[in-house]
Amino acid sequence: MTTTVTVLNGVDTIGGNVVAFETQTARVIMDFGINFAPAESQPDDLLSNGVLPALPDLFTDIAGDKQTAIFISHLHLDHMGALKYLTKLTPVYMTMASATLYAELIRQGLELAPNAQVQVIAPNKDVQIGDLTVRAFATDHDIMGAVMFEVTDGQHRFVHSGDVRYDGWHPERVTAWTQYLHEHRPDLFFVEGTEFSFDDDTSRQRRTEATVLTDFTNAMASDDLVVINPYERNVERLMNLSAAARQANRELVWDERFAGILRAMGVSNEIMLGQDVTVADIQQQPGRYVLQNHFDNLHLLDAFDTFSYLHMNGEPLGDYDPRYADLTAYLAQRGVALQLAGASGHATPDDLLRIAVEVDAKMTLPWHSFHPEREAEALRQIGIETYLPKKGETFTFE
């Protein structure tokens, strides 16, 4: 049997990475992200300019000739954002946590993918797609339900790391799958390299989820209102922030979007602005509350004379987004300091090297990075067999 592995996108970008594993009768695709597309973009245009992966049978009227399934490692846009462009019904596998969150985002109108037939995959359970077998392994990332994927054809073993870190709340998950892979030595190991994208800055302290909670707890020591801007898809962090607020004798007040997500994910006791607490309530006793505020509703903060503002990986995430200048200008005009209190979901360069050593694949392929060549060179220096994949490149295994 011949199996091919084709790199479709994401070789020199953070996200949008897509790889296809194919036999004569079956095709498995993972992930299915997109980096950026204007709101009114059409699939044909995005396919022709290379934004969408070169899979015309999924985005046009061209018929496919293989049993096909898409596997999503986690529910960040750069790993699943192309689903909305599917033009025909396609099985899409993800974990229960991802599927639950996806359903809520669709209910809220934040996502829309009518041709994605969501199927739930459980970690450590095989899914058969023709003559290919896929297994998910729980991992540590800044979103619930994240997994690493292994694909086998009975003779060869291929691995897509997904996004991973070693200093979150669940490092034992990463240790478990690296040890498993070490015992089974994959033929190809696609490993993310996000943190190799950035120039070394020895003065920059590594921030973790624990750091986020420490900064949050310190901010609540004052009598002022505390405002936070987290990312709604990092549900575990939202839960931990709520618990920390209660421990500090404050109530964390969510907007309708965040409250809906938390309730969908099984949290039943969260407080929603306008339903459980009003702006007037917060004005009267600001020291009793923490207010979650999305950039879309920034001017709600006009109602408060003073507050502290903790930016926790919410929108706009960085100065590459034009809205970031609007946020900083607003806070400056209000005399409020912008406190960066987020944490990366991606492993440090040293931890990425550690993962590669522990896996010890026959060939390691760095991608999901603006500078994958940096990771490749670092891997070679420690004796890891490494190859820099090219967009559109196909590897053949007999």
Q: Is residue 158 part of a domain?
A: yes
Question: pLDDT (tens digit, 9 = 90+) per residue, 203-214?
Answer: 568 999 999 999
Q: Is residue 134 part of a domain?
A: yes
Residue that terminates a domain, selected from 296, 313, 340: 340
| Residue-level pLDDT at 202 | 56
Sign, CA dihedral 116-99-126-369, equals: positive
Closest CA to 114 of 106, 104, 124: 106
Q: Is residue 89 part of a domain?
A: yes
CB atoms < 10 A from the CB of 60, how many?
13
Assess whether 240 and 181 both reside in one domain. Answer: no
Q: Is residue 204 part of a domain?
A: no
C-beta of residue 53 within 8 angstroms of C-beta of residue 82? yes
Assess whether 71 and 161 both reside in one domain. Answer: yes
Residue that terminates a domain, selected from 340, 355, 383: 340
Residue 387 has pLDDT above 60, yes or no: yes
| Residue-level pLDDT at 41 | 73
Between 322 and 180, residue with greater pLDDT: 180
The CATH number that applies at residue 390 is 3.60.15.10
Assess whether 350 and 336 both reside in one domain. Answer: no
Average pLDDT over residues 217-239: 96
178: which residues sit within 8 A by CB, 6+ positions away? Answer: 355, 358, 359
Assess whether 54 and 189 both reside in one domain. Answer: yes
Assess whether 149 and 226 both reside in one domain. Answer: no
Q: Is residue 203 part of a domain?
A: no
Assess whether 361 and 382 both reside in one domain. Answer: yes
pLDDT range class, residue 45, cuts 50, 70, 90: confident
**Percentage of the chain lying above the pLDDT 90 cut:** 89
pLDDT range class, residue 37, cuts 50, 70, 90: low
Number of domains in the chain: 2
Q: Is residue 380 part of a domain?
A: yes
Closest CA to 298 of 288, 285, 287, 311: 311
3-state DSSP helix/strand/coil % of the chain, to nearest 5: 35, 25, 40
Does the N-terminal peptide bond of residue 31 adopt cis geometry, omega within 30 degrees of 0? yes
Between 204 and 295, residue with greater pLDDT: 295
Give the Cα separation of 50 and 291 in Å (integer): 41
| Residue-level pLDDT at 1 | 87
Question: pLDDT (tens digit, 9 = 90+) per residue, 63-114?
Answer: 888 999 999 999 999 999 999 999 999 999 999 999 999 999 999 999 999 9
305: which residues sit within 8 A by CB, 6+ positions away? Answer: none
Structure tokens at 109: 């109108």
Q: Burial of 161 by CB count in 10 Å (0-12 exposed, 13-18 middle, 19+ buried)?
A: buried
Q: Which residue has the tokens 């991973």?
A: 164
C-beta of residue 4 within 8 angstroms of C-beta of residue 396? yes
Does the N-terminal peptide bond of residue 286 adopt cis geometry, omega within 30 degrees of 0? no
Structure tokens at 69: 């399934």
Assess whether 29 and 80 both reside in one domain. Answer: yes
Question: pLDDT (tens digit, 9 = 90+) per residue, 144-164?
Answer: 999 999 999 999 999 999 999
Residue range(s) defining the domain that contains residue 306: 209-340
Structure tokens at 149: 């994927």
The CATH number that applies at residue 240 is 3.40.50.10710
Q: Is residue 268 part of a domain?
A: yes
Average pLDDT over residues 12-24: 93
Sheet holding 364-367, edge to edge: 126-129, 132-138, 147-152, 157-160, 188-192, 364-367
DSSP state of 207: P
Q: Is residue 386 part of a domain?
A: yes
Residue that terminates a domain, selected from 313, 340, 367: 340
Residue 132 has pLDDT above 80, yes or no: yes
Average pLDDT over residues 296-321: 93
Closest CA to 12 of 394, 392, 396: 392
| Residue-level pLDDT at 84 | 94
Average pLDDT over residues 386-391: 97
| Whole-number average pLDDT of the chain | 94
pLDDT range class, residue 38, cuts 50, 70, 90: low
Assess whether 194 and 315 both reside in one domain. Answer: no
Residue 301 has pLDDT above 60, yes or no: yes
Assess whether 352 and 272 both reside in one domain. Answer: no
Beta-bridge partner residues of 22: 4, 27
Average pLDDT over residues 187-202: 89
Beta-bridge partner residues of 71: 30, 93
| Residue-level pLDDT at 364 | 98
| Residue-level pLDDT at 50 | 84
pLDDT range class, residue 39, cuts 50, 70, 90: low
Assess whether 213 and 324 both reside in one domain. Answer: yes
Assess whether 94 and 26 both reside in one domain. Answer: yes
Give the Cα separation of 317 and 300 in Å (integer): 19
| Residue-level pLDDT at 46 | 85
Average pLDDT over residues 300-313: 97
Residue 300 has pLDDT above 70, yes or no: yes
User: Half-sphere exposure of 62 toward its Cβ, with a 13 Å CA cutoff?
Assistant: 13
Q: Burial of 10 by CB count in 10 Å (0-12 exposed, 13-18 middle, 19+ buried)?
A: buried
Structure tokens at 23: 């036999």
Give the Cα separation of 368 and 196 in Å (integer): 10
Instruction: Give Cα separations from 351 to 124, 200, 386 (angstroms).
Output: 24, 15, 17
Assess whether 183 and 213 both reside in one domain. Answer: no
Beta-bridge partner residues of 18: 9
Average pLDDT over residues 115-120: 97
